[in-house]
Copies of this chain bind each other. A is one copy, B any other.
Amino acid sequence: MTLTAELKRVKFSTKHNKRITMIFYQLFESESSTYSYLLACEKNKEAVLIDPVLETLNRDQNLINTLGLKLKYTIETHVHADHITSASRLKEIFHCKNLVSINSKVKCADVYLKENDVIVFGEEKLIVLETPGHTHSCICLKNDSMIFTGDLIFIRGTGRTDFQEGNAHKMYKNIHEKIFSLPDQTRIYPGHDYKGIPFTTVELEKKFNPRINLNISENEFVEIMSNLNLSFPKKIKESVPANLNCGKLEIQ
């Protein structure tokens, strides 16, 4: 399927200031502290699920059914190293399409996303921003008031840059050019939080992010990132191959 057929640009009426509120659930998977995001159009119930996790497949399936939603797309913000996606399982169950960055090495997706693609579900939309840094294939997804940043920027932190073609220079550039350039009140919904905080804003991170606020230079940031001394992700050896396969686990 071509991008043009799958991803349409839509114009919203400017006659009505007040749009119907989007259905929005921030979901948490405790083992990897991953946030998945279920978004849906209040009107026609078409839904997308950002970064679904295999461990919470049953929960997500039940929630989608309980809410009467039609899952149209799963979207990966990147090829994860800490958990396995439930994308292929959700596709089997709901006949949705699996979306991932065109820059990834994933071969099994239905749609490959690139800069400025618009993902439409009912009257809602998400715009794709290519934001390499944590990995080469990282993307963010934004609408008028919120941005889903995956592992690019966290609440008072950032993703790590020490594997999967991570690059602190690219991360710095993308956070400055594509996140810090957004309106101050834009809400940032990250791919993880390890302290139980749900979201942050562009303004708060520009001021208070200890790694990458407006007063930290690119060189200082690169220095910080090269001295994190993080332990290797426990599940990377199983997660990356599985996620390159849309979460399908090979028979041993």
Contact = CB atoms under 8 A, between A and B. Distances in A.
Nearest to A38: B197
Majority secondary structure of chain A interface residues (helix, strand, loop or mixed): mixed
Given A59-B195, A195-B59, A204 B27 contact: no
Contacts of A29: 196
Contacts of A25: 197-199
A44 interface: no
Interface residues of A, number: 18
Instruction: Give how many copies assemble into the complex.
Output: 2
Contacts of A181: none
A63 interface: yes
B30 A197 contact: no
A167 interface: no
Contacts of A199: 25
Interface in A20-45: 25-30
Contacts of A197: 25, 27, 59, 63
B198 A27 contact: yes
A186 interface: no
10 contacts: A25-B199, A27-B196, A27-B198, A28-B198, A30-B30, A56-B196, A59-B196, A63-B197, A67-B204, A198-B198
Q: Which 10 A-B pairs have the closest CB atoms?
A: A28-B196, A59-B195, A27-B196, A66-B208, A26-B198, A29-B196, A30-B30, A25-B198, A27-B197, A30-B196
